[in-house]
């Protein structure tokens, strides 16, 4: 009997010694200061909390969380059903969300102040605040200039045809995304700010851009000699957001006709291929609306065909440098 009891005691002692040491329990919400678990909210400041091994680390973490709070408020402007920006069904808002992140990560934090701090379970806890007026002023300073410049540029479209308007608006969209973020920053930092007119302008150019995108299509064709140069143009047009189709998908169907003349010659030990390529764009009435020509030279020790392939590589590089529409004659 006593042997059994002694055996049980020895096993219990052994298990107690071999059991892993308990980890430090996490901070319990009910034990933390209310200002830490539920940061204040008011119309004058943005608030955020942070913790760290030192007060400096706690403040830095709080500032990082403050940037996250600002980004969350910006994103909420566009995810809300009451948003003033009309999000088209096929519109990708990822560029706007990226601009939100850039803005929140670059806004100056020099005027961030520590509102409260304490030590809890050897952790420093900090509450910081940033004036909403600072966020508003920072966004407004940038937005006013960008908005004015965008409106001036937009007025130049008055007598432009559909593809020219699309090309302009395609270049304008990065400004559109940036402006959307800046206007949202002003609105989220000052609730009484009236953003209707600014969002109305963005809605105007955004709506036109997506309507043009749905109405313009390209049919790309070539003569026999130019087939190797067609794919680069096709890929670039698709990358710009437009559709390739032999049949119109909307009111603004265009044909891009590529022709070329190649001269092959021997240059020392190289096969040299020199090609003059002409790019003509026609509207649905078969009227030429754009023309541009380029000369590309390729060299190869293998063959003239391989040299011509090198010319096609140069063509692709120039398309990337100029943009497809400037490359084919739409300035």
- Asked if residues 184 and 74 have their Cβ atoms less than 8 Å apart, the reply is yes
- C-alpha R_g of the chain: 32
The Cβ-side half-sphere exposure at 188, using a 13 Å CA radius, reads: 25
The Cβ-side half-sphere exposure at 242, using a 13 Å CA radius, reads: 30
- Count the neighbouring beta carbons within 10 Å of the beta carbon of residue 96: 22
Q: What is the pTM of this model?
A: 0.80
30 band by pLDDT with thresholds 50, 70 and 90? low
Give the position of tokens 């794919």. 231
How far is 83 from 75, CA to CA, in rounded Å?
A: 11
**117: three-class secondary structure by DSSP:** strand
Tokens of 204: 């105007």
Q: pLDDT of 46-100, one tens digit each?
A: 999 999 999 999 999 999 999 999 999 999 988 877 788 887 666 778 999 999 9
Residue 52 backbone dihedrals phi, psi, to 5 degrees: -175, 170
Q: pLDDT of 241-250, one tens digit each?
A: 999 999 999 8
- Count the neighbouring beta carbons within 10 Å of the beta carbon of residue 134: 18
């Amino acid at each position: 009997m006593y042997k059994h009891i002694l055996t049980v005691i020895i096993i219990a002692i052994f298990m107690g010694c071999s059991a892993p040491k308990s980890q430090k329990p996490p901070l319990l919400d009910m034990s933390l200061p209310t200002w830490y678990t539920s940061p204040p909210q008011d119309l004058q400041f943005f608030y955020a909390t942070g913790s760290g091994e030192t007060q400096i680390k706690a403040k830095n973490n709080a500032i990082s969380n403050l940037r996250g709070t600002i980004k969350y408020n910006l994103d909420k402007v566009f995810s809300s059903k009451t948003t003033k920006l009309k999000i088209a069904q096929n519109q990708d808002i990822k560029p706007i969300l990226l601009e939100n992140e850039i803005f929140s990560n670059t806004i100056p934090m020099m005027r961030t102040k520590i509102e409260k701090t304490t030590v809890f379970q050897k952790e420093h806890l900090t509450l910081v605040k940033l004036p909403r007026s600072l966020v508003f002023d920072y966004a407004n300073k940038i937005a006013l200039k960008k908005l004015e410049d965008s409106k001036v540029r937009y007025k130049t479209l008055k007598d432009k045809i559909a593809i020219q308007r699309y090309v302009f608006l395609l270049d304008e969209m990065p400004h559109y995304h940036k402006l959307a973020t800046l206007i949202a920053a002003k609105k989220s930092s000052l609730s009484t700010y009236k953003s209707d007119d600014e969002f109305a302008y963005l809605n105007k150019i955004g709506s036109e851009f997506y309507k043009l995108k749905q109405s313009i299509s390209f049919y790309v064709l070539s003569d026999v000699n130019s087939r190797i140069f067609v794919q680069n143009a096709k890929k670039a047009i698709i990358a710009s957001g437009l559709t390739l189709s032999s049949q119109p998908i909307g009111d603004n169907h265009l044909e891009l006709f590529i022709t070329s003349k190649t001269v092959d010659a021997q240059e020392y030990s190289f096969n040299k291929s020199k090609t003059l390529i002409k790019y003509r764009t026609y509207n649905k009435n078969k009227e030429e609306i754009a023309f541009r020509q380029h000369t590309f030279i390729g060299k190869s020790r293998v063959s003239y065909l391989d040299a011509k392939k090198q010319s096609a590589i140069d063509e692709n590089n120039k398309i990337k440098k100029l943009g497809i529409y400037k490359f084919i004659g739409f300035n």
